[in-house]
Amino acid sequence: MTQGILSRFNKYQLERFPLAVLVFTTLSVVLSSSAIVLPRSQSIFSNWPAIIVGTVTGLLFTFLMRVFDDFKDKEFDDKFHGERPVQKSVISLKELNVLNIAGITVQITVNLIYSISAFLWWCLAMAYSLLARNEFFIKNWIKKHFHIYNLLNLMQLFFLQIYLYALISPVIVWSEPLLYAHFIFVLLNSGMLDMARKLKAGENESKGLDTYSSRWGMKKAALVLGFISAGILVVFTYISNALGGSIQLIAYGGIAFIILLSCLFVYLNWNDGRSSKIVQAGGVLFFLSVHILIALTRA
């Protein structure tokens, strides 16, 4: 029974929750957050228990968000996304719920043991996610407002990011400008990655108008993603300079940005399923690069 669920989950995660990618993106956020809130004299790796707890919690919380999405979008996905695992009966919502409850139990247990103060922020993040799960009790209205819907769902990461800061350093210096710069940096990166995931082309375009490319057209969507990425590069440069990062380190971030722009160029010119995957890969590379490079300033 257990082996069967895990086997079906493996097929599910390949499409809806790519663990091989999310482990590294989550870890990179935890590491860059450590570089911001830990004392300058302390290496980020000296706080390895918090890094492990934060990565496990962040990963399981992301899974929670995905499962909540699959529940609330069931009717929509049945109509427009019959190729998805739940719709193909690869795995059931009931089974996903069992796995999600197990993940929530792990999160509560490890955080109660490690940090009560951080756990309180986790509770706020959880409360907001439950609101999002119920579509803020305005389902009929919010479904008609695509951009507000996506923004409110993205804001689930607001409290989760504060949770990370509190987990890594119990005493948060709220007057520190870098804290707010990094907070904006994380939210921009999350938005960039979500947008890269929702740029489709050719036969992969959604008939349900639930992608940015279907709403704005490929050119406008690619342009907006490019501007968001440029904003990330600016904030990255500011943070890296403030932390004493080298010019070489900042240049690596610039190279990752150029690679992402190249991916967008390919996306606009190929206009097929492959080009969508290339944009996603470029987004992940840029996301990982800027977070890890910030962490390296404090390694």
What's the pLDDT at 3?
56
What's the pLDDT at 1?
53
What's the pLDDT at 205?
77
CB-based burial label for 104 (10 Å; 0-12, 13-18, 19+): middle
Say if CB 31 and CB 291 are below 8 A apart.
yes
What's the pLDDT at 6?
85
d(CA 98, CA 193): 28
What's the pLDDT at 43?
86
Mean pLDDT by 10 residues, the chain (299 residues): 78 93 98 93 89 98 95 89 91 95 98 96 95 84 82 87 94 89 96 94 77 91 97 98 94 98 94 88 98 93
Say if CB 192 and CB 232 are below 8 A apart.
yes
What's the pLDDT at 299?
75
Say if CB 215 and CB 209 are below 8 A apart.
yes
Say if CB 254 and CB 206 are below 8 A apart.
no
What's the pLDDT at 141?
84
d(CA 209, CA 283): 21
